[in-house]
Amino acid sequence: MTTPSESPPASVTPLRPLNKAAGAMPGAAALEFQGLRKVYRLGRGKPGKEALRGIDLTIPHGSLFGLLGPNGAGKSTLINILAGTVVKTGGVARICGIDLDSHPRNARGAIGVVPQELAVDPFFTPRQSLELHAGLYGVPKKERRTDHILEIMRLSEVADASSRRLSGGMKRRLMLAKAMVHAPPVLVLDEPTAGVDVELRKHLWEVVRNLNEAGVTILLTTHYLEEAEQLCDTIAIINDGRVVAKDDTRALIQRIDRKEVAIVIADDLLEVPEDLRTLDAELRGPRTLAIGYSRKNNEIAEILDDVQRAGLTILDLTTEESDLEDVFLDLTGRKAARTEEPGQDEAGRKPGPDDAGAVEGGGD
């Protein structure tokens, strides 16, 4: 719920990228990773933790790109390499064509990164934080848009309050505000809506969409499949340090072939009738039979014929389209979170990551 002070400004003009980023290569992708590897050292004599095992990804300018994957998949590692807080072990990362190794300052000038962990400087007010940050990036005073950014992020009312006083949601907004001060053409957001309420999540979606419409390329990670489905034009799924799928959002969902039909019948059943046991059928209640089928191989008409031949009277039926959760399950063998506790549910593990090879062709 919002307080009156958090109500949205009457109109939010989208932010436009101010700069073209020094050293940016015309025509280059917004972000490019080739064979990106990270091994965390865990102490002498211990084998390191291989968090990224050769990531190849290209994110074009203007994209709103979602990076999904279970806990520990390597999402934050990839993002923290861009932020400069994690040093990569191998491979290449380019931001707007600028190589992160050879021109780290220019590369980082082209990007704004909001890390997963909440971190705001308690000694500064939000306004001071933004001014300081703008100074660090060399944004001239007349080009600073501190008030506008504070307004967009609904922080005007607390602009001059101690950052210590900010709620968790306000701190997250302040972090995003800080990442915007130098108007980078690329914004990277690590779980921007983790642990925020529904209202604030919608506001953040609106901000992200506005920025993207103004030409900013966005890479975000999320555990919320609905969020990726609603926001992102393209989704990559990583698991155990590898890209297991990459496709445009709708195509990714269509790649999952499985559909389900729930059939309401006229009489109570105690078990699935003998004649229907060759189907992927289960009872969801005494009068509801759920049958899974493959769009490619199984015509729905045949299923309905089978049900009627088994002597059942059909009263109603609904079919369910696959969503990203199905895609996720299919590709990684793990269940993604739909609740506030990301990645908690690891139940129902199916044969896992090795299966993903079959769809890897979708990645680049």
Ligand X SMILES: Nc1ncnc2c1ncn2[C@@H]1O[C@H](COP(=O)(O)OP(=O)(O)OP(=O)(O)O)[C@@H](O)[C@H]1O
- Site for ligand X (CB under 6 A): which residue of 66, 74, 192, 333? 74
Q: Which residues make Cβ contacts (< 8 Å) with residue 168, sequence separation at least 6? A: 118, 195, 196
Residue 77 or 322: the one with the smaller Cβ distance to ligand X is 77
- Give Cα 68 distance to the centre of its chain: 5
Least distance (Å) between residue 331 CB and ligand X: 15
Q: Does 332 bind ligand X (CB under 6 A)?
A: no
Residue 84 binds which entry of ligand X, Mg ion, none, CB below 5-8 Å type-dependent: none
Residue 51 binds which entry of Mg ion, ligand X, none, CB below 5-8 Å type-dependent: ligand X
Q: Which residues make Cβ contacts (< 8 Å) with residue 255, sequence separation at least 6? A: 245, 247, 327, 359, 362
Residue 40 binds which entry of ligand X, Mg ion, none, CB below 5-8 Å type-dependent: ligand X
- Looking only at the bridges linking them, the beta strands covering 64-68 and 90-95 are unpaired
Q: Does 49 bind ligand X (CB under 6 A)?
A: yes
Determine the interface stretch with ligand X among 74-82, 151-159, 256-264, 305-313 (rule: CB under 6 A).
Answer: 74-82
Q: Does 86 bind Mg ion (CB under 5 A)?
A: no
Show contacts with Mg ion in window 88-117 (CB under 5 A).
Answer: 116
3 state DSSP class of 139: coil
C-beta nearest to Mg ion: residue: 76
Q: Which residues make Cβ contacts (< 8 Å) with residue 321, sequence separation at least 6? A: 253, 259
- Site for ligand X (CB under 6 A): which residue of 19, 116, 128, 298? 116
Token pair 């380019």 in the structure block, residue: 94
- Sheet holding 31-40: strands in order across? 49-59, 31-40, 90-95, 98-99
Residue 265 binds which entry of Mg ion, ligand X, none, CB below 5-8 Å type-dependent: none
Q: Which of 190, 253, 247 is nearest to 219 (CA)?
A: 190
Determine the interface stretch with ligand X among 73-81, 209-217, 229-237, 302-310 (rule: CB under 6 A).
Answer: 73-81
Q: Which of 150, 122, 121, 117 is nearest to 136 (CA)?
A: 121
Least distance (Å) between residue 52 CB and Mg ion: 12
Phi, psi angles (nearest 5°) of residue 217: -80, 135
Positive or negative, the Cα torsion across 14, 60, 134, 88?
A: positive
Q: Does 76 bind Mg ion (CB under 5 A)?
A: yes
Least distance (Å) between residue 76 CB and Mg ion: 3
Q: Does 156 bind Mg ion (CB under 5 A)?
A: no
Q: Does 72 bind Mg ion (CB under 5 A)?
A: no
- DSSP notation for 21-58: -TTPPTT--SEEEEEEEEEE--STTSPPEEEEEEEEEE
Least distance (Å) between residue 189 CB and Mg ion: 11
The site for Mg ion (CB under 5 A) is made up of 75-76, 116
The site for ligand X (CB under 6 A) is made up of 40, 49, 51, 69, 71-77, 116, 343
